[in-house]
Each structure stands twice: as structure tokens, then as C-alpha cells.
């Protein structure tokens, strides 16, 4: 992966983390800046890694599921033109700014990945789109599960009354 693609994916991850974390932080009182910045940086790394894994997961899924897929040893990866729309998609992740716009743009990014995957492994666009969609949904569900687990572990519980 080229350095520019890595930077694009990290910025997209930071933007996605900010879009998901800042509305939650706005409702909390007394959240320290250090903790918020730490959570945003951790979220940026996790979301950037999920974005980076999306094409590789789709390519692997195509190789496993589709009998006609053959990539001749080349794996699908991000290019700057494929990764750049992720920045805009991540900015639109703010819950009140446009979940529908975010979804539409992510579908557009997925369509670009499906086109590249179809060309790489020699399958129809619809088969490639299915692999990209399943990979994206699977990664999204996995990272949402981790987010909920982290939120549950970081929630302070009220002390139980002593009797």
C-alpha cells in the first residue's frame, strides 16, 4: 500500500471515529480531553484498519466462494482514486448530518471496489459486488461489536447501595 493511500485511510478512519465519538462526548459531562483524544486516535486506527481490510476481505471471499475467480496471485488493494471518497463518506458519518448520504457514498465506494475486483478476478460485476457487500457488512458488524464492548467496559456503574 502506498504512503498516500495509508494517509487517506488514516484520515478517513479519524473522520469516521470523530463522527461516531463526538456526538456521544457532547452528551457526557466531565469527559477529559485526554480521554477523548485517546479514544479518537484509537478509533482512527481501528476504522482505518477496517477500511484497509475491506478490499482484501472481499478478494479473499471471492477466491473462496466463486469457483471461476482467479487472480493469478494479485490481491485487490486500495488506490488513491478508490480511497479518496472514503474521506467524504467518513465526514458524513455524523448521525444528524446524513446517515442516508453516508450510506449512498459507501455504496458508491463499494461499487468502485466491485469494479476493480471484477476486473482482477475475472467474475461478473454482480458477483464481485456481492463479495464486496458481504465483506463490508461483515467488517462493519465486527467493528460495531467491538465499539459496543468498549463502550460497555468504559461505562461507569453506579455503586450498589449497602444494606
Residue entry with cell 482467479: 70
The whole-number average pLDDT for the span 156-162 is: 66
* CA 129 vs CA 69, 111, 146: distances in Å: 13, 7, 26
Q: Is residue 159 part of a domain?
A: no
Poorest-pLDDT segment among 34-38, 54-58, 119-123: 34-38
Give pTM, 2 decimals. Answer: 0.76
In the predicted structure, residue 132 carries a pLDDT above the cut 80:
yes
Q: Is residue 160 part of a domain?
A: no
In the predicted structure, residue 134 carries a pLDDT above the cut 90:
yes
- Return left, alpha or beta for 123; rule: phi > 0 is left, psi -120 to 50 is alpha, else beta: beta
**Pick the residue with more confidence: 14 or 115?**
115
Predicted local confidence at residue 99, as pLDDT: 65
Residue 28 domain boundaries: 3-154
Q: Is residue 162 part of a domain?
A: no
Distance CA 11, CA 7 (A): 6
How many domains does the chain fold into?
1
**What cell does 149 get?**
464492548
8 Å CB contact between 140 and 126: no
pLDDT classification of 163: cutoffs 50, 70, 90: low
Distance CA 46, CA 33 (A): 20
The whole-number average pLDDT for the span 5-13 is: 81
The whole-number average pLDDT for the span 39-68 is: 83
Q: Is residue 56 part of a domain?
A: yes
Q: Is residue 143 part of a domain?
A: yes
Predicted local confidence at residue 135, as pLDDT: 92
Predicted local confidence at residue 50, as pLDDT: 87
pLDDT classification of 156: cutoffs 50, 70, 90: low
Q: Is residue 68 part of a domain?
A: yes
Supply φ then ψ for residue 137, to 5 degrees.
-65, -40
Q: Is residue 161 part of a domain?
A: no
**Pick the residue with more confidence: 59 or 93?**
59
Q: Is residue 49 part of a domain?
A: yes
Amino acid at each position: 500500500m502506498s504512503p498516500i493511500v495509508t494517509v487517506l485511510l488514516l484520515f478517513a478512519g479519524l473522520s469516521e471515529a470523530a463522527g461516531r465519538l463526538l456526538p456521544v462526548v457532547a452528551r457526557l459531562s466531565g469527559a477529559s480531553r485526554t480521554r477523548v483524544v485517546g479514544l479518537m486516535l484509537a478509533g482512527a486506527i481501528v476504522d482505518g484498519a477496517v477500511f484497509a481490510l475491506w478490499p482484501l476481505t472481499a478478494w479473499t471471499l471471492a477466491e473462496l466462494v466463486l469457483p471461476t475467480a482467479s487472480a493469478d496471485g494479485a490481491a485487490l488493494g486500495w488506490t488513491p482514486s478508490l480511497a479518496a471518497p472514503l474521506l467524504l463518506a467518513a465526514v458524513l458519518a455524523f448521525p444528524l448530518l446524513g446517515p442516508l448520504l453516508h450510506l449512498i457514498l459507501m455504496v458508491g465506494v463499494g461499487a468502485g471496489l466491485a469494479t476493480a475486483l471484477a476486473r482482477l478476478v475475472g467474475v461478473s460485476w454482480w458477483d464481485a459486488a456481492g463479495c464486496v457487500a458481504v465483506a463490508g457488512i461483515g467488517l462493519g458488524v465486527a467493528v460495531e461489536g467491538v465499539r459496543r464492548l468498549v463502550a460497555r467496559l468504559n461505562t461507569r456503574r453506579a455503586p450498589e447501595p449497602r444494606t
